[in-house]
A and B are shown apart, each in its own frame.
Chain A
Amino acid sequence: MAFLEIRDVHKRFGPAHILRGISLDVELHQVVCLIGASGSGKSTLLRCINALEVIDGGVINLDGDRCSGQGIDVDALRQEIGIVFQSFNLFPHMTVLDNITLAPRKVLRLPAAEAEDRAMQLLTRIGLAEKAKDYPDRLSGGQQQRVAIVRALAMEPRLMLLDEITSALDPELVAEVLNIVRDLARDGMTMMLATHEMHFAKEVSSKVCFLHEGVILEEGPPEQIFGDPTEERTQAFLKRIIDAGRL
């Protein structure tokens, strides 16, 4: 039994059938990359996993417990799963420190001092301790995204979902964010990431899934997907990426 099991998941938005039977296993400490054209359903899949979207069919199990459909405690589920978005989504009216400590204080009910200690440790680790009292708009995009990652980590999730977290960044800021993800992977964090950074996907992932129009068309180890894709569509997609100079 895999740590995260996704079985035949369907998602519709009105008449649009966006996820059309996704099945996928993620083992503990694995890093799974989702690649695929824009609109293929990567974000939707990630959002379904932590119940930001309600699925219309199939099941999702986390560590053996069903975490989709009716009657699940979404708030409890989301404490186990961290997600980081393309657009950072920091809370603009709170300092960096408050952004990070909000959920530990209000959800985990940690005392403020303890939550702040933990936040400062995390901030120190990513080199942003001196920004703790700043508001997000004073930070660069790369710094904001690093804070967003730390905000999710502060809940000590068992699974991290990263949705194109570098796509909104200037190229020179991408590395600082990816370095954190690399460290997380090295520390054994279980992660699923949607990304267009193919180099990075190749480097960190245990498994790469190519999504096409709401189905996983091909999945396998990165060497195989990037080196010897069997599906024509995967080949075409990777060729476009290579032509764009991104692999």
Chain B
Amino acid sequence: MLTYRKAATASLLFPPAGIPAMYHSLEAGRLAREGDVEGARTAGGKARDWSWYAVGVGLTVYVIAFLLFILFNNHGAVRVVFFGWSILTNGKAWHSMLKGFWINIQVFFITEIIVLVWALVVAIVRLLPGKACRPIRMLATLYVDIFRGIPAILVVYLVGLGFLQAKVPLVGDLSDNQYVILALSLTYGAYVSEVYRAGIESVHWSQVAAARSLGLSYTQSLRHVVVPQAVRRVIPPLLNDFIGLQKDTAIISVIGVLDVVNRARFINNAKGTLAAYSMAALLFLAVTIPFTRWLEWLQKRSQNRMQGGH
């Protein structure tokens, strides 16, 4: 009997759930022999449930046990290196780290707002119709190709250090933070414009036909009909890109901004452990996880408000 074999495997995998699985599957067999079909089915169902518990709970227990083993192996070396209490409980260290992290947060928020607008502009330019707009379409395409193709860290170096050295007009005299915002906006603007473009193109052409047939111009159709639908659709991929951006703010440390990463490095140099990096990691998690959940919630809400459509 199939449940019997599964239950036996479950018992081997994780006895606390596997043994009840075994019991119910034996019970199912007995009831089946006695002709109690319904009872056998119920018992079989219970056996299956317990077998799944053996997998779901059992594997979790083993993974956690393995992690604990790593953590406390070798007299807790891993724990000491990554989670040194003397630093994790040091108020001054936290204070310094938070001050650094605040810079990351600021850079993130300002960049995100710039990117949201700038990327939409680029996406719309790339979708401008007609021959007349061809040169500017190509320019936008070139921009996207270039900045999607260069690693963000190189853009930060080139923009952050180069613009200052070369005294580039308009942007030759900005603060480090502003350069970083500029660099990340250029890089992420290219990514996000592609997200927008996919979203805009996913709005069915019949929506444009309907808008144009009412006398709305191309721009008005985009503005009132296509873009609002596209934006709702691109929230999930945007979410991914912005979590990426949030983390990539750590790149600003390479041009010497006193952000959370550089502060962690100072603390580690002084104390000789990596715990400050763990603190930085925890700070990032404290933002990215709620941020993800919040955006998921937003997305659900807008889905509830607008179902269907094509």
Contact = CB atoms under 8 A, between A and B. Distances in A.
Interface of A: 47, 50, 52, 74-76, 78-79, 81-83, 85, 87, 89-93, 102-103, 106-107, 135-137, 151-152, 155
Contacts of B289: none
Contact of B206 (A81, A87, A151): A87
B308 A85 contact: no
Contact of A52 (B213, B225, B308): B213
Nearest to A91: B225
Contacts of A79: 215
Q: How large is the interface on B (under 10, 10 to 19, 20 to 34, 35 or more residues)?
A: 20 to 34
Nearest to A90: B210
A102 B214 contact: yes
A102 B216 CA distance: 9
B60 interface: no
Contact of A75 (B206, B210, B215, B229): B215
Interface of B: 206-207, 209-217, 220, 224-225, 228-229, 232, 305-310
A151 B306 CA distance: 19
A47 to B, nearest CB: 8
A65 B224 CA distance: 30
Contact of B305 (A74, A87, A102, A135): A135
Nearest to A152: B214
B224 A102 contact: yes
A76 B215 CA distance: 7
A87 B210 CA distance: 10
Per CB-CB distance, the 4 closest pairs between chain A and chain B, nearest first, are: A92-B309, A89-B210, A103-B214, A79-B215
A103 B209 CA distance: 13
A75 B217 contact: yes
Contacts of B209: 47, 52, 85, 89
B207 A78 contact: no
B28 to A, nearest CB: 46
Given A151-B214, A152-B214, 12 more contacts: A52-B209, A52-B213, A74-B212, A75-B216, A76-B215, A91-B207, A92-B307, A92-B308, A93-B229, A103-B216, A106-B224, A107-B220
B214 A107 contact: yes
Contacts of B229: 91-93
A155 B206 contact: no
Nearest to B308: A137
